[in-house]
Amino acid sequence: MNNSIQKTLGFIKRPHVQIFLDVFRIISATSLILSLFGFFFYTVGYSFLYGYYISGNESSFVSTLNVITNPVPFNHYTVLIISSLLMISVVFLISAVVVYKKKKVHLSLATSVFILVFHICLSIFFTNGQEVPNRALSFIIVWAVPIFITIMVFWMVKAPTRLGTTISGSLYGAIIPAILFVFFDFHDILAQLILPLSTFLVGIIFTFLKEQWFQKYIFKFLIFLPYTFTGCLIIVIVIQDLLQFEITKMIRFVLLFSSLLINIVISFRKIKIQQNDSTGSENEGKTKHEQYFKPLEEAGKSSVITTITLVVVALGTLTPYIAVIGGQYIRDFSNSNRQLHIIQNDRGIILSKGTIISVKDGVYYISDENWKLTIVKGENIIVVDSKK
């Protein structure tokens, strides 16, 4: 038995076998990444169409699980075109950030003009109407989708070097707008877009904080505050919603006071922050590739893996949500020219009225007058233009 195991291990350690295993790992990892990206790529376009046609008159959330288990058969070419345009927008935004960092006026100006022209072209493609300026202005909100993806890309790059501080900033970016929206009863489309964008944008901003600030007590208190506040909030939700136990004002006060007390105690701890900015002597003789990836190597595998996990979860859940809102907003802006059809059988009985999204195997997928999905199946279906 031991001899067979040793022979197997010896065979695996042979150079040509190791080369084969390395190639197999690379192919497997590449296939997995391409599959995940392809699914995400398709989901963005699908969610936009979902928001445009069948999200109802109120903002709703489309989950990736719904895409997998009960997809609406939108035209694949339409989905791919919309996804491609949104992904191209992401590439433009990332390139623009790189150009702006170079601080060259002529390049920055040319990039801004190019993005403006691209924006006008997209607004003409997506929106209806006669006045191009109004269409271009209304389309601005759709940029929330590529902007969010761009923010997540930079969050993934910056977060591993200062993961704790970055998450603290992200919590601030989520908690403060949420409190303001609840206090002012602000629940329109703009509020739903600001929350996910501010969450990760503030996290990126926190990565640029100076290292010496972390030695000050008040700063450490502010860094730990969103953690203790979030913990207190989770306890309240678990007790009140899951355990069905009513929490009095006294209990809430005790929990809030306890979280502040814990935060004060934790703030006395020393915070060790990884210095991100390398000196000129340290970078001398190194390629740009080495200088770029050095902070990630120093951050450690755990920080990198945690960051990638958070980014994947955020992209997989929040991007479809933002795309749905973008599609719904474009529909609300340009639904005055909506073309409705009457779907009836050969006996003249009206089965539904709305816009036909797709027809597959004799099944009609219809966006009804209330922008809800209606499925009609039967023989001898007649479609009539409602204006006739």
What DSSP line would sit under 228-292, residue for residue?
HHHHHHHHHHIIIIIS--PPPHHHHHHHHHHHHHHHHHHTTSPP--------HHHHTT--HHHHH
pLDDT at residue 353 tops 70: yes
Q: How many whole angstroms separate alpha carbon 143 and alpha carbon 117?
A: 14
Percentage of the chain lying above the pLDDT 70 cut: 77
Determine the pLDDT at residue 61.
53
Grade residue 287 by pLDDT with cuts at 50, 70 and 90: very low
Say what the alpha-carbon torsion angle 328, 333, 335, 337 is, to the nearest 10 degrees. -150
pLDDT over 80 at 243, yes or no: no
CA atoms of 79 and 44, how far apart (whole Å): 8
Tokens 């996910």 sit on residue: 196
Q: Please, where in the chain does CATH 2.30.30 lie?
A: 339-385
User: Does residue 224 register a pLDDT over 70?
Assistant: yes
- At 280, the pLDDT band (50, 70, 90 cuts) reads very low
- Joined together, the tokens standing for residue 56 give 């109802």
Spatial separation of the C-alpha atoms in residues 289 and 3, rounded to whole Å: 46
Q: How many CB atoms lie within 10 A of CB 7?
A: 10
Q: What is the pLDDT of residue 290?
A: 47
Q: Counting Cβ atoms within 10 Å, is residue 327 exposed (0-12), middle (13-18) or buried (19+)?
A: buried
In this prediction the pTM is: 0.75
The residue ranking higher by pLDDT, 277 or 17, is: 17
| Residues 270, 271, 277, 280, Cα dihedral to 10° | 20
Secondary structure class of 186 (helix, strand, coil): coil
Instruction: Give φ, ψ of 66 to 5 degrees.
Output: -65, -35
First-to-final CA distance of the chain: 83
What does pLDDT average to over the chain? Answer: 77
Residue 36 structure tokens: 């995940």
Q: Quick one: pLDDT band at residue 277, thresholds 50, 70, 90?
A: very low
Task: Evaluate whether the domain defined by 339-385 bears CATH number 3.30.70.
Answer: no
Nearest to 54 by CA among 38, 67, 42: 67
Is the model's pLDDT at 31 over the cut of 50? yes
The residue ranking higher by pLDDT, 7 or 114, is: 114
Place of tokens 């009206």: 350
CA-CA distances (angstroms) from residue 320 to 43, 48, 145, 236, 348? 7, 8, 9, 29, 39
Q: What local confidence, expressed as pLDDT, does residue 298 receive?
A: 55
Contact 352, 366 (CB under 8 A): yes
Per-residue burial over 79-109, b if 16 or more Cβ lie within 10 Å, else e, is: beebbebbbebbebbeebeebeeeeeeeeee
